[in-house]
A and B are shown apart, each in its own frame.
Chain A
Amino acid sequence: MPHVVLSLIVFLPAAGALAIAFTSKDREDFIKLFSLLITIAVFLLTAWLAIPSTGRGEPSTFVVGQSAMQQVFRIPWIPAFDIYYAMGIDGISFPLVLLTSFLSMLAMAASWNIAKHVKGYCILFLLLETGMLGVFMALDFFLFYVFWEVMLLPMYFLIGVWGGPRREYAAIKFFLFTLVGSVLMLVAMLALYFSSDLSKLTPSQQTAARLQPEELRAIAAARSSSTPRPVHTFNMLALAEMGQMKQSPFDTPLLWGKSVQWWAFVLLLIGFIIKVPSVPVHTWLPDAHVEAPTPISMLLAGVLLKMGGYGIIRFCYPMCPDAAYDLAWLVCALGVVSMVYGALAAMAQKDFKRLVAYSSVSHMGYVLLGMGVWTATAGNAFVSDYWKMGMNGAMFQMIAHGLSSAGMFFMVGVLYDRVHHRDLDNFGGMFARMPLYSGLAVGIFFAALGLPGLCGFIGEVLVVLSVWNYDIALAVVSASVVILTAGYILWTIQRVYLGPEYKGPHPEALTPITRREVAVAAPLLAFAILFGVYPQAVFRYMSPSVDRTVSQLARWTKEVKAPRLAGTDALPAPVAIAGPIEPSASALPVAPSASK
Chain B
Amino acid sequence: MDLAQVLPLLLGLAWLTPLASFAAIVFFGPRMGHAGKGAGYVAIGAIAASAVLSILALIAWLIAHPLGGGHDAAHPVAAIAGEWYPLAVAGELKIAIGYYIDGLTVAMFAMVTVVALCIHVYSLGYMHEELHEVTDPLVTLANGQTLKRRGRFHRFFQYLSLFCFSMLGLVIAGNVAMVFVFWELVGICSYLLIGFYIERKSASNAANKAFIVNRVGDFGMIVGLMALWSGLGTFSFDEIFQQVRPAGHGPAAHGHALTVPDGMVRFAAREEIAAIYQGTPDARQAEHAIREQLPGWRAEGLGYGLLVVAGLGIFCGCVGKSAQFPLHVWLPDAMEGPTPVSALIHAATMVAAGVYLVGRFYPVFTPEVLLVIAVVGCITLFIAATIALTATDIKRVLAYSTVSQLGYMMLALGVGGWVAGLFHLFTHAFFKALLFLCSGSVIHATGTNEMPRMGGLLRKMPWTAGTMLVGCLAIAGAGIPLVIGLSGYYSKDGILAQLYSFAGQNPSYAWLFYVAAGGAALTAFYMFRLWFMTFLGSPRDEHVYAHAHESPRVMVVPLVILAVFAVIAGWNVPGTELGLQPLLEQARPLGTAEGASQGLFLPTLTLPAEHLSHAHEIHVPVTLLAFSVAVAGFLLAAVIYWWRLLDADVISRMFWPVHDFLRNKWWFDELYQFLFVRPVLAGARLAAGIDRVVIDGLAHALAGAVRLFSRFDDWIDRLFVDGAVNATANVTYEAGLRLREIQTGAIRQYVMWVAAGTVGLFVLAMFLWSYTLAGP
Contact = CB atoms under 8 A, between A and B. Distances in A.
A contacts B: CB pair < 8 Å: yes
Interface of A: 173, 176-177, 280, 282-283, 286, 341, 344-349, 377-386, 388-389, 392-393, 396, 429, 431-432, 446, 451-453, 457-458, 461-462, 464-469, 475-476, 479-480, 482-484, 486-487, 490-491, 494, 497-501, 503, 534-536, 539, 543, 547, 558, 562, 565-566, 570-572, 583, 585-592, 594-596
A382 B270 CA distance: 11
A389 B93 contact: yes
A589 B233 contact: yes
A451 to B, nearest CB: 6
B233 A377 contact: no
A482 B90 contact: no
Contacts of B618: none
Contacts of B225: 465
Contacts of A379: 270-271, 273-274
Contacts of B90: 385-386, 388-389, 392, 462, 466, 543, 547
Interface in B75-105: 85-93, 95
Interface stretch (B259-267, B649-657, B665-673): B259-267
A378 B273 CA distance: 7
B233 A590 contact: yes
Nearest to B178: A452
Given A381-B287, A451-B184, 16 more contacts: A177-B699, A344-B688, A345-B688, A381-B273, A384-B91, A432-B150, A452-B184, A458-B88, A465-B222, A475-B226, A479-B222, A480-B219, A498-B199, A500-B147, A500-B200, A595-B243
B313 to A, nearest CB: 9
B278 interface: yes
B226 A479 contact: yes
A592 B218 contact: no
B262 A590 contact: yes
Contacts of B483: none
B172 to A, nearest CB: 15
B243 A590 contact: yes
A539 B208 contact: no
A452 B185 contact: yes
Interface of B: 85-93, 95, 139, 141-142, 147, 149-150, 177, 180-182, 184-185, 188, 191, 195, 198-201, 204-205, 207-208, 211-212, 215-216, 218-219, 222-223, 225-227, 229-234, 239, 242-243, 246-248, 259, 261-263, 266-267, 270-271, 273-274, 277-278, 281, 283-284, 286-287, 290-291, 294, 680-681, 683-689, 691, 695-696, 699, 703
A429 B199 contact: yes
Contacts of B273: 378-381
A494 B208 contact: yes
A468 B230 contact: yes
16 contacts: A344-B688, A348-B689, A381-B266, A385-B233, A393-B88, A458-B88, A479-B223, A479-B226, A482-B219, A483-B216, A490-B191, A494-B204, A534-B85, A583-B91, A590-B232, A590-B266
Contacts, number: 232
B223 A173 contact: no
A362 to B, nearest CB: 11
Given A386-B93, A487-B212, A468 B229 contact: yes
A124 B686 CA distance: 38
A457 B181 contact: yes
Given A479-B226, A482-B222, A588 B246 contact: no
B184 A592 contact: no
Given A283-B695, A385-B92, A571-B281, A453 B204 contact: no
Interface SS of chain A: helix, strand, loop or mixed? helix
Given A349-B688, A431-B198, A490-B208, A591 B222 contact: no
Contacts of A498: 195, 198-199, 204
Contact of A566 (B149, B278, B680): B278
Nearest to A432: B149
Given A389-B88, A483-B212, A461 B291 contact: no
B85 A536 contact: yes
Contacts of A393: 88
B207 to A, nearest CB: 8
B104 to A, nearest CB: 23
Interface SS of chain B: helix, strand, loop or mixed? helix
A190 B411 CA distance: 66
B223 to A, nearest CB: 5
B287 A587 contact: yes
Nearest to A349: B688
A459 to B, nearest CB: 10
Given A494-B204, A586-B287, A465 B229 contact: yes
B703 to A, nearest CB: 8
Contacts of B188: 446, 451
Nearest to A546: B90
A425 to B, nearest CB: 13
A378 B691 contact: no
A536 B63 CA distance: 38
A505 to B, nearest CB: 14
Q: Which 4 A-B pairs have the closest CB atoms?
A: A379-B270, A385-B91, A590-B263, A389-B90
B287 A476 contact: no
Contact of B198 (A386, A499, A535, A586): A499
B232 A585 contact: no
A499 B233 contact: no
Given A280-B695, A348-B687, A494-B208, A586 B283 contact: yes
A577 to B, nearest CB: 15
Contacts of A586: 283, 286-287
A499 B200 CA distance: 6
Q: Among A429, A465, A586, A595, find the residue whose CB has the most chain B CB atoms closer than 10 A.
A: A595
B696 A388 contact: no
Nearest to A176: B703
Contact of A388 (B86, B91, B139, B686): B91
A500 B199 contact: yes
A511 B180 CA distance: 39
B642 to A, nearest CB: 42
A594 B291 contact: yes
B371 to A, nearest CB: 23
Contacts of B201: 499
A347 B266 CA distance: 40
A499 B687 CA distance: 28
Contact of A475 (B95, B199, B223): B223
Contacts of B683: 344
Given A498-B198, A596-B246, A589 B266 contact: yes
Contacts of B93: 385-386, 388-389, 588
A595 B258 CA distance: 12
A566 B695 CA distance: 41
B277 A547 contact: no
A389 B696 CA distance: 35
